[in-house]
Amino acid sequence: MPVVSKVRVSPSWGEANKIGQPDYTIESRRVFVSAGYELNYNEAFKTFGVSFSNEVSPFPQVVVPLAPGDTQILIDLETGLPMPYILPVGYSLKILSDIWSYSARARTAIRVLGFYYGGADSDTLGTNYYNAVGGFSTEPFDPTFLTPIPLQLDVENIDGNDIHGYWLASTVLTAESTPPFPEVKEVRCKFCEFQEEVDWKTTLHKCSGCGATNIYLSHTRGRKVI
């Protein structure tokens, strides 16, 4: 865990890299980028979310306000694909934190293997941080990592008014018994639903189907060798 008192933003990368000079860039990065979570070489961040707004946006999670009685499934911010996210064989996924804010009463659900697993009603702002022991992980559902596990988060409007706001879940994907992470990913255009394969680092991307611009996330992958 990073020690807060050690954190100092370096004057510049060049200066920090001078031989014999103190280098605080790693500590700074741990605090500001990963909020204290250190990724191992076989781990990567992954985020699912939705943001209800009338603003037009190239970000896949931004959708129109949720009408009473409607349900919205969360979207993979790396690919634009709606959940369920199918966890591939050989991987586990754990939820590190989630944060939400709804303008009207919402009912959220987490579904594992196609079944309701848990959820809550909320109409306020909230944040949960989970630790490695008590948090949600796919590992107990199959400790052998031999089964693809569908995972879905969704939110239903149980109020009489439209919901503005958001729900964002930060997770860590871990390669348990597989080769390194793939170099490509399948992305989906939020405007025409065209899907295509792109480099895993792709963020701003012009859809080959309709020409519209989408912006996807490209999350940090761990570099620490264990």
Binding site for Zn ion (CB under 5 A): 189, 191-192, 194, 207, 209-210, 212
Specify the DSSP element, H or E, that contains 30.
helix 25-32
User: How many Å separate Cα 81 from the centre of its chain?
Assistant: 12
One-letter amino acid at 148 equals P
**Residue 79 Cβ, how far from Zn ion at the closest point, in Å?**
14
**Residue 206 Cβ, how far from Zn ion at the closest point, in Å?**
9
* 196 neighbors 208 (Cβ within 8 angstroms): yes
**Residue 193 Cβ, how far from Zn ion at the closest point, in Å?**
7
**Residue 74 Cβ, how far from Zn ion at the closest point, in Å?**
21
Query: Which residue's CB is nearer to Zn ion, number 67 or number 210?
Result: 210
- Residue recorded with tokens 């025409």: 192
Token reading at 79: 């690919």
Q: Which candidate, 114, 152, 157, 155, places its Cα nearest to that of 136? A: 152
Query: Which residue's CB is nearer to Zn ion, number 110 or number 187?
Result: 187
* 77 neighbors 216 (Cβ within 8 angstroms): yes
Token reading at 193: 């639903």
One-letter amino acid at 123 equals D
User: How many Å separate Cα 190 from the centre of its chain?
Assistant: 17
* 220 neighbors 203 (Cβ within 8 angstroms): no
Query: Which residue's CB is nearer to Zn ion, number 58 or number 88?
Result: 58
Query: Which residue's CB is nearer to Zn ion, number 110 or number 207?
Result: 207
**Residue 214 Cβ, how far from Zn ion at the closest point, in Å?**
7
Token reading at 142: 């199959």
**Residue 192 Cβ, how far from Zn ion at the closest point, in Å?**
3
Query: Which residue's CB is nearer to Zn ion, number 181 or number 191?
Result: 191
Query: Which residue's CB is nearer to Zn ion, number 106 or number 207?
Result: 207
